[in-house]
Structure formats: structure tokens, C-alpha cells
């Protein structure tokens, strides 16, 4: 696999704090290529040999804004078994419903745009239903749970100009932890 030619923006880049625009269909050739490149990058970042070869940080989600494109597109690459992946391509997402139960990532969330250790937890919904469009513009609904629900919320935040570090209370980074379930 060849490393795609994408540059991931650092958290200091002001574009990461801007709201992305809705996507108009049909997708351009450039948008289709960007989606393929983001999926390839994330897949390679999760394969140890590729990660070491190209000095990549492991990631499972990437939004268009993180590669400098201000469109409401994100991809998630989930490793379902060793070196077997399920890809989610999400365009113009809207959260239709979510659980009351909240969860958080025990070791803390990470982000390919945040190149530092961050203490604290980010409250996330344990389950949600999202309406989105596929690459052809066809609408679909998807119910996500646990780590995929967290990944969807993390990427939707990106599309709204929010980084996970913005959601951590600087005075009390573990605030309300006892009211949530750790995963």
C-alpha cells in the first residue's frame, strides 16, 4: 500500500475551529480521491508494519476539515479482526437520537490533529442514530454504539469546529466521571 499524499492539520490551525459546509452532490473527483486517501491513511495507521514503516500515529477517524477541506465529510476505519477493516463514509451527518447513558474512553481520547498527551475525559453518548448520505448522495440511517458512537461524535464535533480538548473542563478534567461508564 502506498502512503496517500495528505497533510493532517495541527490543532493550532484556525480552520479546525470553523464549521464545515454541507456537501453538494455529485461529489467531485477531488472529494472522492480525498475520501479514498483518508481511508487508506487510517487503514495503514492501524497496521503495525505500515505504521512503523511510515512513522504514523494510529487513528480510526478523520474528517475532511483535518485535511484542509471545509466539507461535512468524515470516515471511520474500524478494525473488526486483525487486518480486516470496516469503513464508514459519512457525509452531511445529523444526529437523530442518542442514549441518555454517557460513556468515556478510559485512557482518554486522542486525535490525529492533537499531537500531545491530554488529561481528562470527554462525555459521549453510548448509542446514537445518525442520518447521513453515502458517496452517491443516497440518504441512510445508522445506529452506532460504544467506541464507534464515540468516533462518530468526535468526527461530528470536527465538522462543527470543535476539538475533543475543547470539551475537557480545564479546572476539573475528570468532572462527572462517576456519572458515566468507562470503555
Catalytic residue check, 155? yes
Sheet with 73-81: list strands edge to edge: 61-63, 73-81, 84-98, 127-133, 139-145
Q: From CA 30, how far away is CA 36, in angstroms rounded?
A: 10
Which among 79, 107, 109, 155 is annotated as catalytic? 155
Tell me the HSE value of 162 on the side-chain side, using a 13 A CA sphere.
Answer: 11
H or E segment and range at residue 148: helix 146-159
44: β partners: none
Closest to 154 (Cα-Cα) out of 173, 167, 170: 167
CB neighbour class for 16 (10 Å; exposed up to 12, middle 13-18, buried from 19):
buried
Residue 57: count other Cβ atoms within 10 Å of its Cβ: 11
Q: From CA 118, how far away is CA 132, in angstroms rounded?
A: 30
Please give the positions annotated as active site. Answer: 155
Amino acid at each position: 500500500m502506498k502512503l496517500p499524499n495528505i497533510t493532517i492539520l495541527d490543532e493550532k490551525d484556525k480552520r479546525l475551529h470553523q464549521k464545515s459546509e454541507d456537501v453538494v452532490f455529485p461529489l467531485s473527483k477531488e472529494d472522492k480521491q480525498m475520501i479514498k486517501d483518508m481511508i487508506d491513511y487510517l487503514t495503514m495507521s492501524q497496521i503495525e508494519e505500515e505504521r512503523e514503516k511510515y512513522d504514523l500515529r494510529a487513528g480510526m477517524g478523520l474528517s475532511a476539515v483535518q485535511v484542509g477541506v471545509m466539507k461535512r465529510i468524515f470516515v471511520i476505519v474500524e478494525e473488526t479482526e486483525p487486518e480486516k477493516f470496516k469503513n464508514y463514509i459519512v457525509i452531511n451527518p445529523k444526529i437523530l437520537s442518542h442514549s441518555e447513558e454517557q460513556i468515556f474512553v478510559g485512557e482518554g481520547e486522542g486525535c490525529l490533529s492533537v499531537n500531545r498527551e491530554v488529561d481528562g475525559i470527554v462525555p459521549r453518548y453510548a448509542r446514537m442514530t445518525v442520518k447521513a448520505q453515502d458517496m452517491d448522495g443516497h440518504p441512510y440511517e445508522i445506529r452506532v454504539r460504544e467506541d464507534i458512537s464515540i468516533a462518530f461524535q468526535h468526527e461530528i464535533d470536527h465538522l462543527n469546529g470543535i476539538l475533543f480538548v475543547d470539551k475537557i473542563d480545564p479546572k476539573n478534567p475528570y468532572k462527572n466521571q462517576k456519572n458515566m461508564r468507562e470503555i
